[in-house]
Structure 1
Amino acid sequence: MSGNDTSGAASAAPLSGAYRAVWRWHFYAGLLVLPFLMLMALTGGLYLFKTEIDGLAYRSLSHVEARPQTTSPDRWVAAAEAVTGGKVANVLVPVRADEAARLTVRLPDGSKRTAFVDPHDARLIGVTPFGGVMETVKRLHSLVLVGSWANYVVEIVAGWAIILVATGIFMWWPRGRQVGVVTLRATDPKRRPFWRDLHAVTGLYAGAVIAFLAVTGMPWSAFWGDQYMAYVKEHGLGRPKPPAGAFAHAEHQDAPVGVGWTMEGMVMHGDHLMPAPVPARLSSVIDAADSRELARPYTISIPTDPTVAWTAARVVDRVEDTRILYIQPGTGTVQADVAYGQFGVGAKAFEWGIAVHEGRQYGWINRYVMLGGCIAIWLLAISGIFMWWKRRPPRLAKGQLGAPEAPADPRTRAAVLGIVLPLGILFPLTGLSLVVALLADVTVRRLRSASVRP
């Protein structure tokens, strides 16, 4: 987000060497991660409107005629399983009488489908691929369509996004020369100053949002997110202790849905002191949830392991409304009633950050601020490309990309290390990628120096 013209200021200011060192790494960071950030910004911006997009995509399946009476929820399960040949894994219990129940069905081949059932007469309205278009958007956003290893790439990209913001602030900062750009001064899009000012102004006003999105996106990462949650758990800052029994890690197919990141994968085993086995029924679990005044809509997860309690998790926007019931399916006994207020401070921060990241926590203003950050990433990328194009070197084929030359004085590199080293320590995968980038930079410069020697 550089806001000063380096052509003249850099040579006159005492920090010109440091400025060019930071600018060089700002250039390379953008070159490496902006394609990923643009994809994440596009898919993330779409995901902010998941409810609206789902409503349009499934309007003909999710809308039913409102009637005062509903049939047994066990018939919903029977209807979905009879047609699909699979087993119901979870059920979204609707809040309104004109909404269909949504059942996720796991097929024998391991794939999933979403079945829409009329709750009034158990009529199967239709079956769609699991998650539909928004599931694809979600998988693109996390890069898991490429492979599970791509989750590590997401963490690296998020860390470099923070470095981009930090180096951009360094470059924008006036440092006694001239006031940093706060409005568009140049008006001719054919000239580089226009794109420089657009880049600077966009970064100035959206940099904090972009950095926030990067930091709060870290919980999804395979390394940093796991390490954070492990620390929270070990220091008693995470999930609460259950009133009876103990939480256990579920098998992959039995992990409850809709319970949030703090309780992700956590199940409770049922009461084995019953005098006789009691059939597990969806209707008894819904009755138990309603008797405990669990607000609809909520999602009931049905494990394949008969010794595991079913979960009923409220679908929420604000994290303060989080509530999860662990219910014995045969008797309707509630084994645990978990709410947000019971979480430790680390888990609360974790969940709050995710809710704000997804634009849910503070209503429409939260959503549009996050959308603004997504749009800003595209503006920064486009303006950066135009800036580079207008100052590109004439001989790109010879490996000259147009990056600022590395300062000759090694002391000026301290400015870069002062910015990126703390971030590299805080986010180890980003730090590792930084080491690789430094080694590559040194190698390339030495090879160029050797090629020009007589």
Structure 2
Amino acid sequence: MGDPKPHILSGAYRAVWRWHFYAGLLVLPVLCLMALTGGLYLFKDEIDAAVYRPYERIEAGQQWASPDRWTAAASVGAGGRVVNVRVPDRPDRAVRLTVRRPDGEQRTAFVNPYDSQYLGAVRYGGVTEIVKQTHSLSIIGPWANLLVEIVAGWALILVATGVFLWWPRKRDAGVLTVRATPPSARPFWRDVHAVTGLYAGAVIAFLVVTGMPWSAVWGDRFLGLIRETGAGRPPAPAAASPWLHAEHDDHPAGVGWTMEGAALHGGHHAGPGALTRVLETAEAEAMARPYTVTIPTDPTLAYTVARENKQVQDARSLYIDSDGAVRADIRYDQFGVGAKAFEWGVAVHQGTQYGWINRYLMLGGCIAVWLLAISGVTMWWKRRPNGRLWGRLGAPTAPPGPRVRAAVLGVVLPLAIFYPMTGASLIVALALDRLGRLIRRRLAPA
């Protein structure tokens, strides 16, 4: 290889390579799934527009009918209670209403705002909701958030060990460009793998880190820390009640992570015409469309009107009594520094903060994950050994020595400590690795 210190460097290199191999083996299938669904979700608006077109396109009119007639039409048509209403930003688009049926299933209903005609309903969220649930792994069950943290932590280990392996040494290898070797040769795929990791590694790491708030252990701890230190949501206005934690059915829609679950007492009981008065107030307060109005099941809670924004600095939530009085007007500049960073990371992760450049940069990261997986599997296939069952994985051998172990721990251990679920899975991986070596020794010929 031509390394300046072959015994030390080759041992450390092989040890880090071994963990890079195992990290890829553990998480690349799930990471590829998340990259595929994440890439699709970047085009949520375009997908929704195509899917909803038969229901959403209407003839523009002059004046809305009463919003209470919208909810009545949706309730009858979709067979349930309306929990929120999305007011469109174009006059030739229908109103979307989320309807919860008695069996708990949710539907997205469409109503013409000018004559209150029910236009139809689809499964809640449509195609992009399925994509979102698959991306977050929530489609597989309640423990999915734990898996998200494990996969994200190991993905960072992949990036960190990949940087170590890429680092230029005195050897004949592609560092910044792919060497002119035949595509059938292993060096070509090695260079594709290394150069792709070099140029896309930072984007992949960013996607992983900004996706961690969705995880169970680390995400909850991070959010809790932000709120405990006063760096999160702003205090409730003095004239309003303290923030309440809304029950599941009353969770405000579209308010973002910072204000998630935050509700205020409305001070008045809801009655006929309440939604109409709330919308009149939202329009009078110049709430930019599109926005979503959450209709609480608890009649003492305020309605929440949340702007559907692309850039975090445009975030705004109004809390309005059923009689139309504003209880609170919360904007981005009122957030603490932690909440601002948190919301900014989510917006960039979703490709909306900086327009099309942001979107296609994140898409590039998703494509790079697949290219890294394909090139990695191709390299393994070309060097796979033929032998006993326990040798067929083709993992690099684990060289002995404290300096070698220190090299691995220096890369892996900080990430395992910072992300608890990754640390727990690392202990399991070490135990399985040890068990595998013991079995191989037993099976080795005398």
Q: After TM superposition, is the score higher than 0.5?
A: yes
The corresponding residue for 2:64 is 70
The corresponding residue for 1:401 is 393
Deviates more, 1:201-210 or 1:65-74: 65-74
The corresponding residue for 2:175 is 181
Mapped to 2, the partners of 1:232 and 1:191 lie a distance apart of 51
Secondary structure of 2:142's partner?
Answer: coil
The corresponding residue for 2:191 is 197
**Superposition deviation, residue 396 in structure 1:** 5.8
**Superposition deviation, residue 176 in structure 1:** 5.0
The corresponding residue for 2:296 is 303
The corresponding residue for 2:338 is 346
Secondary structure of 1:325's partner?
Answer: strand
Tell me if 1:256 matches 2:276. no
The corresponding residue for 1:55 is 49
Tell me if 1:291 matches 2:284. yes
Pairs within 5 Å for 1:35-114:
35-114=29-108
- Length-normalised TM-score, structure 2: 0.96
Match of 1:271 among 263, 267, 271: 267
CA deviation string 1:367-406 (max 9, x = no partner): 0000000000000000000000000001263443111100
Mapped to 2, the partners of 1:338 and 1:136 lie a distance apart of 31
Mapped to 1, the partners of 2:386 and 2:160 lie a distance apart of 30
Mapped to 2, the partners of 1:152 and 1:100 lie a distance apart of 38
**Superposition deviation, residue 175 in structure 1:** 4.1
Secondary structure of 1:52's partner?
Answer: helix
Deviates more, 1:301-310 or 1:174-183: 174-183
Secondary structure of 1:88's partner?
Answer: strand
Mapped to 2, the partners of 1:59 and 1:187 lie a distance apart of 49
Mapped to 2, the partners of 1:360 and 1:443 lie a distance apart of 47
Flag structure 2 segments of 5+ consecutive residues without an equivalent. Answer: none
Match of 2:130 among 128, 132, 136: 136
Mapped to 1, the partners of 2:301 and 2:86 lie a distance apart of 19
Tell me if 1:428 matches 2:435. no
Number of residue pairs matched by the alignment: 444
**Superposition deviation, residue 278 in structure 1:** 4.9
Mapped to 2, the partners of 1:23 and 1:349 lie a distance apart of 34
Mapped to 1, the partners of 2:164 and 2:254 lie a distance apart of 41
What amino acid maps onto 1:307 in structure 2?
Answer: T
Instruction: Name the Cα RMSD after superposition.
Output: 1.6
What amino acid maps onto 1:270 in structure 2?
Answer: G
Secondary structure of 2:130's partner?
Answer: helix
**Superposition deviation, residue 277 in structure 1:** 6.9
- Length-normalised TM-score, structure 1: 0.95
Mapped to 2, the partners of 1:176 and 1:236 lie a distance apart of 51
Contact 1:113–1:130 (CA<8 Å) still a contact in 2? Answer: yes
Secondary structure of 2:108's partner?
Answer: strand
Match of 1:167 among 161, 169, 187: 161
Contact 2:39–2:366 (CA<8 Å) still a contact in 1? Answer: yes
Mapped to 1, the partners of 2:422 and 2:12 lie a distance apart of 22
Secondary structure of 1:58's partner?
Answer: helix
Assess, with a 3 A threshold, how the Cα gap between structure 1 residues 188 and 179 changes in structure 2: closer, same or farther.
closer
Contact 1:300–1:311 (CA<8 Å) still a contact in 2? Answer: yes
What amino acid maps onto 1:326 in structure 2?
Answer: Y
Flag structure 1 segments of 5+ consecutive residues without an equivalent. Answer: 1-6
Contact 2:270–2:299 (CA<8 Å) still a contact in 1? Answer: no
Assess, with a 3 A threshold, how the Cα gap between structure 1 residues 180 and 375 changes in structure 2: closer, same or farther.
same
Match of 2:429 among 419, 434, 437: 437
CA deviation string 1:116-172 (max 9, x = no partner): 111111111111111111111111101111101011101110111111011000011
Assess, with a 3 A threshold, how the Cα gap between structure 1 residues 151 and 396 changes in structure 2: closer, same or farther.
farther
**Superposition deviation, residue 448 in structure 1:** 2.0
Tell me if 1:315 matches 2:315. no
Match of 2:441 among 433, 446, 449: 449
